[in-house]
Each structure stands twice: as C-alpha cells, then as structure tokens.
Structure 1
Amino acid sequence: MARELGWYASFSVAFGFVSIATGIFTTYGAVLATSGPRGIWAWPISVIGQLSVALIFGALAARIPISGYSYQWVSRIVGPVWGWIMGWISFAFLGVVLVAVDYTIASTILPELFQYVGTTQNAWVITAAVVLLQSVLVAASTRTTHRVNNVAVTVQLVGMITLTVLLFAVGAFTGKLDFAHLFEAGSVPESGYYALGGATDAGPFALAFLLGAFTIVGFESAANLAEETKDPARVIPKAMVQAVISLGVLGFLFLVAITAAAGRIDGAEASATPVATVITAVLGSVVGKILLVLVVVSIFSCGLVITLSGTRLVYAMSRDERFPGWQLLKRIDRRTATPLNASVFMMLIAQIILAVFSSSTDALFQLFSAGTLLPALIYAGTVAMYAAKRRSLPASQGFSLGRWEIPVLVVAAVWLAYELLIFRDASFRAPWIYVLVLFAIGAVYFIGLIIRRGRSGLTMPDMADVDRALDTADTAGRTPADTATEANAR
C-alpha cells in the first residue's frame, strides 16, 4: 500500500472515532441523572487516564507500525490465542458502539431538531435506517468513506468550537450562565456523593467518570492506517496524543458552557435531550438547529468510521480463517473492491444488537455502558501486554516514553482498574449480560477452531505486513497458512 497519508489524515481518524459531539450528546443526560451538574468535574480526570492509555498505544505503535487493531498486535506479541480473544472483544465493542452512536441521532438530536416526541419505536426505525445507510457507503467505496470522514472532522472541529464560543458569548450577554451551577449536586443527594460505594453499587461521582470513559475512546484507530501513513512511527503516536488532548480541552469547555447555561433554563436537567434543549434555549431555534445539523453530520461520520473499522476487523479475522463464516466474509467484491460480505455482516450484527436493546426505555444508557465496558477491557488487556512484554518489543522507531514509561504505566493501570470497578454497579447488569453472551458465543467457536486446527494452525506472520503477505498468497494461489509459515521461516 502506498504511504500517502499525512498527519491530518491520521489525526482525523482518531478525532472522528472519538467524536466528543457523539459522546457528550449520548451520555450527558445520564450523568445529570446519576451525578448531577457537579459530575462534569470527573471529565478532566478521565482525560488524564485515557491520555496515559494513548501514550502507551503510541509507544506500541512506534515499535510495531502495522495495520490492524489489537487483534493484530496481540497475535504477534503474545500469541494467536490471546490475539483472537482481543479480536473478538474488539468486534463486540465495535458492534455495540456503532448502535450507541447512531441511536444518539435518533433519540437525542432529531426529536429536538424536528420537534417531535421521541419513542423507542421511532428511535429503533431511524437508527436501523442510519446503520443501513452507513453500511451501504462503506460497502460501496472505502475512498468515499475516508473523504466523508475528513470533511466531517473539519465540520466537527469548526462546529464544536463555534458552538462553545457562542454558548459562552450569548449566554453571558443574555445572563443565562450560572457558574455556581457547576458545583451543585442537583437532584443527587449530597450525602455519600464522593463515596466509593459498596460491593454492588458505585458512588454518584464515580458514575460520572463514564462520560469521559465513553467519549475518549477509539483514538487507537489511527494505528489501523499505519501502512498507509508517511513515517507512521512518528506521525501516529503524535496524532493519537494530540487528538486526546484537543478533544479533552474542547470537550471540557463545552461541558462547562452547557452546564452553566442549564442552571438558568427551566426543565433543562429533566429533559430527555438536555444538551439539545440548552443549545436551542440559549442560541434560538434557527442558530440552534443549524448547529444541531452539524452535530448530526459529526455523529453520522463517527458511525461511518466505526462501520469501516468493524468491517475491516471482520475481514481481517476471516482472511486469517478465524472468524465464523470466514469462507464468505473474506471475499472482496470485484465491482466495489471492498469486503462487501463483511460489510453486510457488520450491518446485520448492529441490527441484532439494536433489536435487543431498543425495547428498553433506558436503551441509550445500556448501550453507552456496554460501549464503555468493552474498550476498557481492550485497553486493560493491551496495557497489561505492553507492561509484560515492553523489554522484548522491537526498538522504538520514532516515539518513546523514556523515563516516563513506568509512571505512565502506573497511571494507566490505576485508571483502568478504577474504571472497571465502576461496572460492579447493579445498573450495569444488562451490559454485562451482553458481554458474557458474546464471550460465550466466541468461546464455543474458538474451542471448535482449536479442536479442528490446533494451536499450530493459528500461527501468524511475525511482525509482517499481513495485508501484503496475503495479497501475495492470493496471487500465487497459496493459502494464508502457507504464507504465514513462510513468513515465520524467514
């Protein structure tokens, strides 16, 4: 593959996947309900925690600048069995976060934009249509998908900055900003607000960390374009870290503006769509709706990138003959030059997940909870792998933590352990059930895979360009297993 992508393209992928517009619009209402306005102060701490994870991923990407998600990295560093497990978790995450992102459009933005009453039924139908449209675009053209994302990231940057500035300026001019509101607990009891909670419940402030933990994820997707990026060992770590920092700062300023304005708007905290309600109340219906359209564009683009990432992961695992139905899912359509079957499969999985969750009146909370739990598991596994294997990894080619490596590892480990402990709360029962069911399905398939082929049949090329290796195998008429064996022999 030609190395033609520069810093902005790499930054756009990381920024577009994270999408603060998506994360905040999705989770802000839940934070107000569980933690009150004061819950926004958990955001800076979450950003520091996720930044430590991004730094470790950057150090890893600089050592192994290879296409693919954690499935590819872990398969080559630890072994194919652990790599498959990480790939399956990543697949589960991409499926549920796609639905969570698209459900945001249907449940929080469009009702405010077009002034209709949102229900579980119309949210289901609209989300299903959005998922279908994104899948059609991804299946039709990967190049078009990247172009849409680049434009949408620019729109999101301009739109969110403009939106934040206008909220502060207009809110101050009209007297609709109440900064004292930032420190209030709202309807949440003051007693035990900062408590850690018990064995099956997390404290109110602890639950507020899910806002940042759900939003600041997906930055590692920039590493998926390593083999198409110029000087990837330097560019990709820089892009990931800068995306997290810029999103963290911009996101917090936006949260401050929204929360300060909410204190002077009657019914804002009780609204099913508090962010959209505040924007419309402060900026007026015309300007508010224009900016909400920009937010819809940003969220749609985020879902588009997730669809592309999920399709690529399914295709990559199928190409290695390690995914259910790999015989069909590894095929490339001659007309579109895309993994059409994998695109259709990802769309069907998203529709099934949507059907499971959408009958609940609390569907958005359940979706974003599952979409936070799964990446936390992925990050924890990858950080643990890096900590265990850091001395045996290849030398860094452009980015190193140096003497800060141990402190960053400690911060990341403490942060991820704390984040995972939040999910002991009884309100996360449904996400855990989803995760366990997906794990059980994966375990059954993987056991069968081991029985049929054995561990030796799962060997992967060691630090090799799997895309180029398998393209060569297809041209020569060899199997992926033959190519893997030859790569390992070299």
Structure 2
Amino acid sequence: MNSNIQARPASGPSSHHGSEHDRLKRDVTAFQSFAVAFGFVSIATGIFTAYGAMLSTSGPMGIWTWPVVVVGQLMVALVLGSLAARIPVTGYVYQWTSRISNPVFGWIMGWISFTFLAIVLCAVDYTIASTVLPVLFGYEGTAMNAWWITSLVIVAQAVMIAFSTKFTQRFNAVAVTIQLVGMIGLVVLLFAVGAINNELDFANLTSTGAIGVEGYYAFGELTKAGPWIMGTLLGAFTIVGFESAANLAEETREPARVVPRAMWQAVLSLGVIGMLFLIAVTALLGDPTALGASATPIADVISRVLGPIVGNFLLVLVVISIFSCGLVILLSGTRLVWAMSRDERFPGWQLWHKISPTLHTPVNATIFVAVIGQVILALFSQQTDALFSLFSAATLLPAIIYAVTVLMYAAKRHQLPPSQGFTLGAWEVPVLVLAIAWLAFELAIFRDASFAKPWSYVAVMFGLGALYLGYLLVSRGGPGGLKMPELIAIDSILDADRGADFNAMPAE
C-alpha cells in the first residue's frame, strides 16, 4: 500500500513521496502495535499524574467515574479503529480528515493533534520528576529540579527514537510487559499486604473526603463543574492515545487488521487493571483528607504499605512505564510531523520529511518535536500548578480531536470504502451514539474556570496554526493546492500489496 499511495503527489508540483529516503520500514508486529497503544495510555502514568488532583476535586469517591470513562473511550476506540482499518496511513487523524472531509480541515486536525502530542509529552515526562522520583530517592521536589530532570528525560527519549525505531519498539514492548506484570503484581500485593496488616478501609471507596456531600453529584454552574463530574478527568487524562497505533500504520504488518484490535484491546485491558489498582490504593489511603495534601499520594501509599525495599522496586517499574509512555508519545508526534511534512504541509517541511539513509528514521522530525517539548516545558516549568495545567491541556485536546473525528465518521461512514480488517457491523449506530454522548459530556467539563490556562495554551497554538495555514493557502493558490491522494484506491492497493510488503520483511 505504501509505495503506490506515496507515489501520487499530495500537493504542489514536486513530490517526495515515492523516494526510498522518505519511506519507513514495515516491521512493526501485532504485539508491538498493541504495545504502542498500551504504552501511550499507560495507567501507571495517568493515575500517578492525576490521582492527587482527583482527591482534591472529587475525594476518594471520584474513582467511580473510571468505569464511565472506560466505556466512553472504548466506544471512541471502536470508531477510530474503523477509520484506521479503512485508511491505514501514517498521520492518523490528519490523514483521515483530509481524505474524508477536505484537506484544509485535515490540516487543522493535524495541527491540533500536534499540539496535543507536544504537551502530553511534557505532562507525562514531568510525572517522573514530580510524583515518583522525590519518594523514590527521598528528596524534596521543586519546580526547578522537576524542570531539568524532565528535560533530560525528553533528550534520552529523542536519542532512542532517532537512533533506531526497531530498538525503540522492542524497548517499549519490554516496558509494556513490565507494566502488565508489574501493575497486576502491585494490585495483588497491595490487597494482600493490606489485608494481612488490616489496613484496608473500604469505607474510603464511598467517602467524599474533604469535599462536601451537598451538591456532590450536581452538574454544576456555568463556569463550575460538579465535584463528582470533575473526577472523570482522572480517566479522561489516562485513557487517551490508544489511536497512536494508527500513527505507525505504514510500519505495521497487516495494519487494517492489527491496528484496530490493538486500540480496543489496550483500552479494555487497561480499564480493568486500572479500576482494580484504584480500588486498592483508595482502600489503603488511611486519612484521605491528610493524603489529599500530598504531591505524591500514590507513591506515598505504595511505600507505606509495602515498605521501602519492595515499594521502591515497584516505583522503579513505574518509572520505566512512564518513560515508555513518553517514548511512545514522542514517537507518535515524530511520525505525525513526518507525515504532514511528506505532504509539504508542516512548517519547515523541507527538513522534517527526510528519512536518515543510515538510521532509517526521521531524525530531523524527532529533534524538532523534542525541541518543541522543551519549549513548552520551559513555559510551564515555574508554575506551582504546572502538573495540573499540563495534564488538563493534555485532556482537553484529545477530547476535541475525538469529538470531531467521531462526528465526521458518523456523517461520512456510508462513503467510506469497505475494509476486510475490522468492521462494527450492526453495532455501528449504538457505538456512535454512546461515543458522541460521552464526548459531549466530557467537553462540558472544560467550562470550569480552573481550565483557563489550558484554554490559553490551546488558543495560542491555534493562533500560530491559523497564521501558517493562511500562508499555506496563499502560497498554494487556495484550497485546491492542498489536494490529497484519492481515498477510493486505498483498500485495493492495500489488498494488492499486503502480501508483497509482508514477504519482503526479514524474519524476526
């Protein structure tokens, strides 16, 4: 599929699509595709990042918003999986929207996706320095040391991605295995040790902590969301990025079949494990009001219940999981920038579309995304609520992306080519209804005044994007200069070339 689609110019008189130096190797296996989706979602990352904020806004009972989010995001994953099976091209939302709607709207969605990936990279990596390492090494976390530690983490991830995609994928596959085994083992240990020491207090599961009971379930006011509703941000921040598997479609063997499965399996498995982990931690909180004031509540519980040796060992596994999550995010951002640059549509595309002839990776695009991450990190780094601002923006942006994509699918689904890889069949309409209802509910939360800074970030990035889009349209002679390859040929090309692409790959 790759070579034929890439050979057709996407814009302008010149095209780099058919060059061997612009083509990625198709060597991502089914498990590695699942590992990308699983690693991006990373319950270890999301829960360690957002649990403290949930305690302060919703109290311990906020954990029961988790199943609501899991069901909602599972519906979204099924819809996006249907798109990924029909348009298995690197660049996911950008590619889907450009072909199904129009290239201008596709560019806008690509830019929104880029702004999301850039900030979620910072939010995830900042978690290592702000919520885990201070407990692991017994030092006081400050904005300054969190900044430089996070900067070093981003540099390390960029070096790995630029050096070797295969090594990055294998590292992530190992990290995901560690996270699966580690999180399940952590849940079992917490319940077992807590029961032996009589520390489990299941009354916490129905406690609102320091939050008043009156109006707890209320929808809220014009600029204020209700306490329980705010708790959904824990799951909404965590269970995102499953579509990242689609961003490596051109590197994945049999992407129409493999990518959708990787997406929904990641959401479902992480949803179950995450709920069990939340129940264990919440039952072991002790005094939820006291622990709600801690910047590192999850790590505090693990160290207290399991002791310093076992607790620290498990925290090391958590660091590996979070590092892997950031690695996948940076990898996904790199591929998006590369895909948009290949179509000559990203600022500075002349540099970012190139594939290193020796490393076979988009080195320039990797460096670029890492640098943007450093800039965003520097802007947020001196704020006392930096983590909340980062994770809030990283929750708002995917909600926008998912809502637009699901609505677009609902409007255009009858015009899509058939797929042999994945289909919703008779469940398509119920899944769409549930996905749209969930996303409308989620977006309504962001009317809360506490999200002023995330909205500011979104406004600034949208403004920068609008300026470049205006330049792009003028320089290309209008929207017609952004014409994309035709959609109709994608499935036939995939069917014709799938065997050739697969057989050409070296054995593992």
Q: Where in structure 1 do 4 or more consecutive aligned residues deviate above 6 Å?
A: none
Which residue number corresponds to residue 318 of structure 2? 295
Match of 1:365 in 2: 388
Q: Which residue of 1 aligns with 2:331?
A: 308
Instruction: For 1:464-483, list aligned pairs within 5 A.
Output: none
Name 2:422's counterpart in structure 1. 399
Bigger shift: 405-414 or 325-334?
325-334
Aligned twin of 1:201: 224
Task: Give the equivalent residue in structure 2 for 1:154.
Answer: 177
Residue deviations 1:251-291 (CA, integer Å, cap 9, x gap) = 00000000000036894332110000000000000000000
Indicate yes or no: 2:294 matched with 1:271. Answer: yes
* Deviation for aligned residue 1:353: 0.7
The 1-side partners of 2:294 and 2:388 are apart by 15
Match of 1:475 in 2: none
**Offset of residue 224 of structure 1:** 2.3
Distance (whole Å) between structure 2 residues aligned to residue 338 and residue 2 of structure 1:
9
- Secondary structure of the residue aligned to 1:443 is helix
Deviation of the 1:11 alpha carbon: 1.1
**Inter-partner Cα distance in structure 1 for 2:82 and 2:468:** 33
Whether 2:117 is the aligned partner of 1:73: answer no
- 2:32 corresponds to: 9
Which amino acid in structure 2 is aligned with residue 38 of structure 1? Answer: M
2:243 aligned with 1:220, yes or no?
A: yes
- What do residues 119-155 of structure 1 show as CA deviations (whole Å, max 9, x unaligned)? 0111011111111111111112112111111110001
**Residue ranges of structure 1 left out of the alignment (5+ in a row):** 470-490
Which of 344, 367, 371 is matched with 2:367 structurally? 344
What CA distance in whole angstroms lies between the structure 1 residues aligned with 2:117 and 2:33?
A: 19
Instruction: Give the Cα separation in 1 of the matches to 2:451 and 2:458.
Output: 11
Question: 2:134 maps to which residue?
Answer: 111
Cα distance in structure 2, aligned partners of 1:322 and 1:406:
34
1:171-219 deviation per Cα after TM superposition (whole angstroms, max 9, x unaligned): 1110111011110000011111111111111011111001111101111
Q: Which residue of 1 aligns with 2:144?
A: 121
1:63: Cα distance to partner? 2.4
Q: Cα gap change, 1:135/1:352 in structure 2, threshold over 3 Å: closer, same or farther? A: same
Of stretches 436-445 and 329-338 in structure 1, the one that deviates more from structure 2 is 329-338
Equivalent pairs, count: 468
TM-score by length of 2: 0.89
Structure 1 residue 456 corresponds to structure 2 residue 497:
no
Which region of structure 1 is more displaced relative to structure 2, 348-357 or 272-281? Answer: 348-357
Q: Check whether the contact 1:315–1:342 (CA below 8 A) recurs between aligned residues.
A: yes
Deviations 1:393-436 (A, max 9, x none): 11131322222211111111111011011000000000000001
Give the partner amino acid of 2:116.
F
Name the residue aligned to 1:145. Answer: 168
Structure 2 matches for 1:221-236, cutoff 5 A? 221-236=244-259
> What residue in structure 2 maps to residue 385 of structure 1?
408
Equivalent position SS for 1:410: helix
Distance in 2 (CA, whole Å) between partners of 1:5 and 1:107 is: 33
Q: CA deviation at 1:45?
A: 0.3
- 2:124 corresponds, among 70, 77, 101, to 101
- In 1, the alpha carbon distance for the partners of 2:262 and 2:283 equals 31
Higher mean displacement: 163-172 or 397-406: 397-406
- TM-score with structure 1 setting the length: 0.93
Structure 2 residue identity aligned to 1:299: I
How far the C-alpha of 1:450 sits from its partner, in A, is 0.3
Alignment check: 8 A CA contact 1:262 1:269 kept: no
1:58 aligns with 2:81: yes
Distance apart, 1:81 and its partner CA: 0.6
CA–CA distance in structure 1, aligned partners of residues 426 and 103 of structure 2:
31
For the pair 1:164 / 2:187, whether they are aligned, the reply is: yes
1:409 matched to 2:432: yes
In structure 2, C-alpha distance between the alignment counterparts of 1:372 and 1:141, rounded to whole Å: 30
Contact kept? 1:265, 1:278, Cα under 8 Å? no
Q: Does 1:32 align with 2:55?
A: yes
Q: How far does the alpha carbon of each residue in 1:348-380 deviate from its partner, in whole angstroms, 9 at most, with x for none?
A: 110111111111111100000000000001101
5+ residue gaps, structure 2: 1-23, 495-508
- CA RMSD of the aligned region, Å? 1.8
Could you say if the C-alpha distance between residues 374 and 337 of structure 1 is closer, same or farther in structure 2, counting changes exceeding 3 Å? same
Instruction: Determine the C-alpha separation between the residues in 2 that align with 1:61 and 1:179.
Output: 42
Cα separation, 2, equivalents of 1:243 and 1:339: 26
Q: Distance in 1 between matches of 2:258 and 2:362?
A: 28
Q: Secondary structure at the match of 1:262?
A: coil
Q: Which moved further from structure 2: 219-228 or 242-251? A: 219-228
Q: Is residue 2:354 matched to residue 1:354? A: no
More deviation, 288-297/234-243: 234-243
Alpha-carbon offset, residue 236 of structure 1: 2.1
Offset of residue 327 of structure 1: 1.6
Contact 2:247 2:336 in 1 (8 A): no
- Counting aligned pairs with the same residue, the percent is 65
Q: Are 1:265 and 1:281, in contact at CA under 8 Å, matched by a contact in 2?
A: no
The question of whether the paired residues in 2 share the 8 Å contact of 1:226 and 1:236 is answered with: yes
Distance 1:182 1:374, change over 3 A: same
